[in-house]
Amino acid sequence: MLLRGLGGGARHVAVSERSDAARGPDSTRRRVDAHHYNHHVSILIPECGMVPPAITAICKSLENYYLMKQLPLHELLAPEFINTFVKKGKCYALSYNTRIDEDNTVALLPTGKLILSVDKDTYQEMGLEGQPSKYSHRTVMRYIVTVHLSEASFVPGGKRYDRVMWALREKKPLIFDLLMSCDSSAGGREESLASYFTQYQCQAYQPKLSTRILNGTPCPVLLSSELDGKDSESCNSLEFLDWLGAVFCDIDCNNQADSFLSTYCCPEPNTVVDKACLCTITGFIIPEGINRLLDQLRLYFEEPKLAQWLSMTVHGFADSPVSWGQSEHGYHRGGENLYNVVLFSNQDRWLHMAVGTQSDCPP
C-alpha cells in the first residue's frame, strides 16, 4: 500500500494498493461498499471500439433514484419509514444542492445512521448533542450530529427518539431536497419510495449512460506488479491518475513543450492505441450497482483481448458530509473524494483512493 500527498500547498492524499488474483475481489468490494454516495462512473477500455453489451445491460439495470423536493427531515424518523426502508434494506439519502462549507447538509447511510452537518446557529437551536467538525479551525462554526435510526431503543416513547423528533419537527424544523435510493437486492424498497412520499413532490430518475470512442490515443504502459512505477518500463500509479483526468476532460495528451495552451503529455513509457472506449454513467449511483459493474468488468478478460488492462473511476459528491464509511468530509477547494480500480488481464488489481484537504484519510 502507498500513501502519498499530492501536489504542493493544500494537502491531498492518495492511497494506492495492489492485489492479485489469489486474494479475490473481496478487499476491493469492501472499499466500494464503504463509498456510499457516487455521482459519476467512468470506464475506460483500451483497444475497444464499442461498449461491451454486457456492460451496457448492467448500466441500464442500475437502481432508479428519486429527488424528493422540500422534504421535512423529521419524516425520516417516522417509525413506518424506519421499519419499511431503513431496517429492511440498504437505504441511501443525501441532501441535494447544499454546500458542505456553507449550508446545512444531511446523509442517511445504509447502516441506518443519519449524519447531520450543520452550522453553529442551527446546532444551538436544535439542542441535540453533537461533535465539533474536525475542520472548524480555531473557531468552531460547524457541528456533526449522528442519529442511529436503526437502534432498537430508537422508538416513540424512548428518551432519545422523542428528543430528536421534537428538535427536528418543532424546535428547529429542517427541510431538504433529498436524493434517495434503495438497494433492492438487499431487500430494499426503492420502487415504493415514491408511493410512500405521496404528499411531497417526487421525481424518479435513471442513471444516464454516454459513450465516447477515442481514436489514436496514447496510453501509458502499465505493469500490474509495478504499482510504484519503479521499473522504467511502467508508468506509476499517480502519473496514471493524472493521465486519466486528462482523458476524461478531453485534454490533448500529445502536446509539445512550447505549446501555448498545454504542455501536458502522456506519461512514458506509452503506446498509441487505435481505439479506446470511454463509457460514463452519471446520477445517484449506490455501491451495489458499482459492484455489479466491477463483477462484469472482471469477466472482460475471460476471452483473449488486445488490451492488458481496463479502468473504472468513481467520483463521490463534493458536498457529501462523509467520504468513506462515516469519515467526515469537507470541501475546502474542490471537495475531492474518488477512487479508481484498474483490472489487469492476469486478474491483478490496482485500487487508488483520493481525497482533498478537508477529509479523513481513505481506509
Structural domain includes residue 213 = yes
pLDDT for 189 equals 52
Overall average pLDDT of the 313-337 stretch: 88
Which strand (E) or helix (H) includes residue 293? Answer: helix 287-298
Q: How many domains does the chain have?
A: 2
Given a cut of 50, whether residue 321 has pLDDT beyond it is yes
End-of-domain residue from the set 205, 235, 252 = 205
* Residues β-bridged to residue 338: 315, 354
In this structure, are residues 70 and 175 in contact, taking their beta carbons and an 8 Å threshold?
Answer: yes
pLDDT for 2 equals 44
pLDDT for 58 equals 92
Which residues have a Cβ under 8 Å from the Cβ of 10 and sit 6 or more positions away?
Answer: 332, 333, 356, 357
* Cell numbers found for residue 331: 470541501
Same domain, 187 and 177: yes
pLDDT for 261 equals 57
pLDDT for 180 equals 96
Same domain, 148 and 257: no
Structural domain includes residue 362 = no
Express each pLDDT in 22-53 by its tens digit: 666 677 899 999 999 999 999 999 999 999 99
Same domain, 213 and 252: yes
End-of-domain residue from the set 178, 205, 232 = 205
Same domain, 120 and 239: no
In this structure, are residues 350 and 342 in contact, taking their beta carbons and an 8 Å threshold?
Answer: yes
Separation CA 125–CA 133 (nearest Å): 17
117, exposed or middle or buried, with CB in 10 Å at 0-12, 13-18, 19+?
buried
* Cell numbers found for residue 207: 442513471
Find out whether the peptide bond into 220 is cis, omega within 30 degrees of 0. no
Structural domain includes residue 122 = yes
In this structure, are residues 229 and 244 in contact, taking their beta carbons and an 8 Å threshold?
Answer: no
pLDDT for 3 equals 41
Same domain, 198 and 223: no
Q: What is the DSSP string of 223-238?
A: -TT-TT--STTS--HH
Same domain, 201 and 230: no
Q: What is the pTM of this model?
A: 0.90
Structural domain includes residue 124 = yes
